[in-house]
Homo-oligomer: A and B are copies of this chain.
Amino acid sequence: MRSHLRIFLTFVLALAAGLACAAGATAETDPLPSWNDGPAKQAILSFVQATTDESSPDFVPPSERIATFDNDGTLWVEHPLYTQLAFALDRVKALAAEHPEWKDQQPLKAVLDGDLKALAAAGEKGLLELVMASHAGMSTAEFEAIVTDWLAKARDPRFKRPYTELTYAPMVELLRYLRANGFKTYIVSGGGIEFMRPMTEAVYGIPPEQVVGSSIKTKYEMQDGKPVLMRLPEVDFIDDKTGKPVGINQFIGRRPVAAFGNSAGDQQMLEWTGAGSGKRLMMLVFHDDAEREYAYGPANGLSDTPFGTFPQSLMEEADKKGWIIISMKKDWARVFAFDK
């Protein structure tokens, strides 16, 4: 957790920055130029070929071409901590002056003191309290403005870039390639639905109505004769683990034919996708590239992490079920659009 301490010191609140589009290079012949040749790339190309060719026994009608993507660690960086958590920490600090009581109230005190050890000790319950303090109490429109402003100004501590540039170029290419072949691409993430929506269209080409995520409750009310939706400090839905198939069924109402994740939180989404009839594609990004990005598991002997845990049991499950592992190190010719 020591690395989190550095984040406090290194967040650079630069003033000018727009949402940057991680536009991958496109070639006439190769729809996936940021991918190295290998089993992962081949699996994608074969799947798209088989499901879109009308003469193929595996043909999938366009209306059923649903592909779901986890966000943190699958489409953008989730280390040294989730981007939304970095936002929550910044937000608590920004609001501290209005809330003198937070100085004596854990886990908020821990954030203000920069005491990551105490914050870690607060556990999941503490994180939830942090989210409630930083994500609720304003209207949905106000929250959107706050997130948009933060995303424009905040910088990742290692790469010194806006978080919206820390998307994986191969995955952005994959999203585009699938859409070009009639697939509807969705995000299905444990992250907050209203934290993601302000950026998904510009960054991934995914409109707000195709984002599924965790949420807190909102309440419709009139303020000075104008209707607003106020964000309440109350959990509505957690879109993680078994919540992912629940969210997919609730929001989309169809079973995906392809699903992409990178951690234990995605296992049930891949199971649910794979349990449908006909050809399916399930893939997991494995972070094994400390040089260009990060390396964590604990699968395959890599270090353990609370952010995007990939346990050995998931590796075994993938092997058993035929889910394809994307090795960041081997399968990706470049990681970010700004590489090379």
Point out residues on A near B: beta carbons under 8 Å. Answer: 63, 66, 140, 184, 193-194, 197, 201, 207-209, 211, 215, 218-221, 226-227, 229, 236, 242-243, 245-246, 249-254, 268, 271-272, 275
Contact = CB atoms under 8 A, between A and B. Distances in A.
Which among A201, A211, A253, A254 has the greatest number of chain B C-beta atoms within 10 A?
A253
Contacts of A245: 220, 227, 229
Contacts of A215: 250
A287 B93 CA distance: 55
Contacts of A211: 253
A251 to B, nearest CB: 6
B209 A229 contact: no
Contacts of A254: 207-209
7 contacts: A207-B254, A209-B251, A209-B254, A215-B250, A218-B250, A221-B242, A227-B272
Contact of A220 (B201, B208, B209, B242): B242
A207 B271 contact: no
Q: How many copies of this chain are found per oligomer?
A: 2
Given A193-B250, A215-B250, A251-B251, 17 more contacts: A140-B249, A184-B209, A194-B253, A207-B254, A208-B252, A208-B254, A209-B254, A218-B246, A219-B246, A220-B245, A220-B268, A220-B272, A221-B242, A227-B268, A229-B245, A229-B249, A236-B250
Contact of A275 (B227, B243, B249): B227
A229 B215 CA distance: 20
A79 to B, nearest CB: 27
B220 A253 contact: no
Nearest to A140: B249
Contacts of A140: 249
A250 B232 CA distance: 14
Contact of A246 (B207, B220, B246): B220
Given A227-B271, A246-B229, A268-B227, A253 B209 contact: yes
A63 B197 CA distance: 14
Given A220-B242, A220-B245, A220-B268, A275 B226 contact: yes
Residue of A193, A220, A268, A272 most packed against chain B (CB within 10 A): A220
A22 B218 CA distance: 36
Contacts of A220: 242-243, 245-246, 268, 272
A313 to B, nearest CB: 15
Contacts of A249: 140, 218, 229
A135 B275 CA distance: 24
A314 B219 CA distance: 21
Contacts of A251: 209, 251
A235 to B, nearest CB: 13
A246 B236 CA distance: 12
A29 to B, nearest CB: 30
A64 to B, nearest CB: 10
A215 B246 CA distance: 12
A220 B245 CA distance: 7
A219 B211 CA distance: 21
